[in-house]
Chain A
Amino acid sequence: MKAGSFEWHPARSADEAVALLAEYAPQDGRVIAGGQSLVPSMALRLAFPSHLIDINGVEEFSRVRVEGGELVIGACVRHAAFHAPVEPGPLGRLLTQVVHNIAHYPIRQRGTFCGSLANADPASEWCLVAATLGARMVARSVRGERVIEASEWFQGIMTTALEEDELLAEVRLPLLPAGSRAGFYEFSRRAGDYALAMALVAWRDDGGTMRDVRIGTGSVEVQPRRIAVAEALLEGRAASPEAIAAAAAAVSADVDPLEDIHTSADYRRDLVGTAVRRAHAQAGD
C-alpha cells in the first residue's frame, strides 16, 4: 500500500507546468492535481508514474470566473469551491446540488473539478455535468492551446482526447439561461460511494412548455452521454408525469449498461430510468 518511487516537480506557473509536462510526459510523467484519484491508485500500485508535475502551487489555476456567458473553471479549483453557488444563476445552484454527491467532505477539500474531467471515471458527477451541458475543455501544451468539445472529450472508460503532453487548463461550462430548471439524482449504496446510476435533466421553461431539453446519464455506460431519443420526447411538451415517465423509459431502453460485481446490466437499466424521473422531480427554479 505504498506508492512507487517518483520525482516531484512543483510548478509555479501554467507556463512552467506545460514545459515540465512536455519534458517528462515521454518519461512516464503526469500531472497531479488534487491527488484524490491518483494517490490511491499509486498506493494500490495501479499507477506507477516516474515523474509528477504538481500544479497545486499555480495561482492562476485556482480561479473560477464568469466570462462571455460561460463559467470558467481553472485546473486547480477544488470540489469544495462549489459547496456554495459560484454564480447566482441556475448553473451555480445546480453545481452546489451536485457537489454534495462527490466523495466526502475532506476529499472535496483537495479533489478538483478539472481532475475529475481528466480522470474521466464513468461514475464522475462532474463528467456527467460536462457531457450534458456541453462543456468545452481547454487543453494547453508547449505547442499551444486547443478547445475540445464534450462530444469529443470522452473516449471510453477513463480515456479522454487529451494528448500526453497536454494539460487541462480550464473547463468552460455554458451558463444556463434565466428560466432554466435543472435537477440531478444519483443512487449509491452508501453516502460518498461512487453512484450505481445517475441522471441530470435540464430545460428552459417557456410558459409551461419544455424547451432545450437535455437529459444525460452517468455511471451507466462507459462514459456519460446525452440521450437524444428521450430529449426529443420532452421537447416542446408540458412536463406531465406521463411525459416524464415516457422519457425515463426511453432512456432505459436506449442505454447499454455496464455490468460489475455491484450491479447487473438489467438492474442498472431499471435504476437509470428512476434516476431520470427523480432528477426531473428535483429540478429547482
Chain B
Amino acid sequence: MASKMAITLDVNGTEHEIRVEPRKTLSDALRGDCGLTGTNVGCEHGVCGACTVLMDGAPVRSCLMFAVQAQGRKLRTVEGLAASPGNGGKLHALQQAFIDNHALQCGFCTSGFLMLAAGTLEQQPDIDDASLREVLSSNLCRCTGYQNILRAVRQVRDAGKGGAR
C-alpha cells in the first residue's frame, strides 16, 4: 500500500489540510476527509455526474480525479453556493430556481446539476438553449424528467444571474 501524502485542498476558499493515499478520489476526499458531504457519489466511474464540482471555474467529475491532483487548484462545491448562515444564508439564484421550478425530487443529483449549471453560466452567461441542453445532458437524474431542470437553469440565465445569490 502506498503511504499517505499530506496535501492541502482549497475548497470554497477554505484550506483543508488532509492526509490521503494517492488512490483516493477527489470526491471521497471532499466527503470523507474535508467533511463536505454535499457532493454526492453515484456511479464512481464518470457516467452520472452526481459528483460534479468546479475546479478553477470549470465543472469536472470529482470521481475521475485523485485528490492529490487537486492541490493548488480552486475547488468549489455545493456548500459554497449559498451565503453562510452567519451571512444571512441567502440561497444562490440557481438553488432558488430549482426550488421554484420543482427541479428536484429525491435530490441525489441536485448538487451535481447545480455545480454543472453554475460553472456553465459563469463561463457562458449567454449560452443558447441548444448548447445548454447539450451541457445539461452530461448528468443523470432518475426523478425529474429533466424538463424542470432545464427550465430552472434557463430562468437564471434569462435573469442574468448566473453567478449571483
Query: Chain A: residues with CB nearer than 8 A to chain B?
Result: 1-8, 10, 35-36, 39-40, 42-44, 52, 54, 56, 80, 100, 104-107, 109-110, 190-192
Contacts and interface: CB of A to CB of B under 8 A. Distances in A.
Nearest to B112: A106
Contact of A7 (B2, B49, B69, B137): B2
B64 A105 contact: no
B58 A109 contact: yes
Contacts of A6: 2, 22-23
Most chain A C-beta atoms within 10 Å of own C-beta, residue among B5, B66, B68, B116: B66
A106 B69 contact: no
A207 B56 CA distance: 48
A4 B137 contact: no
Given A1-B44, A8-B2, A109-B55, 15 more contacts: A4-B23, A5-B2, A5-B22, A7-B2, A8-B68, A39-B45, A39-B64, A56-B69, A104-B49, A105-B59, A105-B138, A110-B61, A190-B137, A191-B134, A192-B137
3 closest Cβ pairs, A-B complex: A104-B138, A8-B22, A40-B45
Most chain B C-beta atoms within 10 Å of own C-beta, residue among A4, A10, A36, A104: A104
A80 B64 CA distance: 16
A35 B55 CA distance: 15
B110 interface: no
Identify whether the interface residues of B are mostly helix, strand, loop, or mixed: mixed
B46 A100 contact: no
A35 B68 CA distance: 13
Contacts of A42: 23
Contacts of B60: 106, 109-110
Contacts of A4: 23
A5 B45 contact: no
A7 B61 contact: no
Contacts of B25: 2-3, 39, 43
Contacts of B49: 104, 106
A93 B83 CA distance: 42
A222 to B, nearest CB: 24
A5 B49 CA distance: 24
A177 B158 CA distance: 41
A258 to B, nearest CB: 22
Identify whether the interface residues of A are mostly helix, strand, loop, or mixed: loop
Interface string B21-40: 11101001000000000000
Interface string B82-113: 00000000000000000000000000000000
Contacts of A191: 134, 137
B87 to A, nearest CB: 29
Interface in B115-162: 116, 120, 134-135, 137-139
Contacts of B52: 106
Nearest to A106: B59
A39 B66 contact: yes
A8 B66 contact: yes
A106 B68 contact: no
B5 to A, nearest CB: 8
A44 B45 contact: yes
B9 interface: no
B19 to A, nearest CB: 14
A192 B138 contact: yes
20 contacts: A2-B23, A2-B44, A3-B25, A5-B23, A6-B2, A6-B22, A6-B23, A7-B2, A8-B5, A10-B68, A40-B46, A104-B49, A104-B138, A104-B139, A105-B135, A106-B60, A106-B116, A107-B46, A109-B58, A192-B138
A107 B139 CA distance: 11
Given A5-B1, A7-B2, A109-B60, A35 B65 contact: yes
A1 B45 contact: yes
B78 interface: no
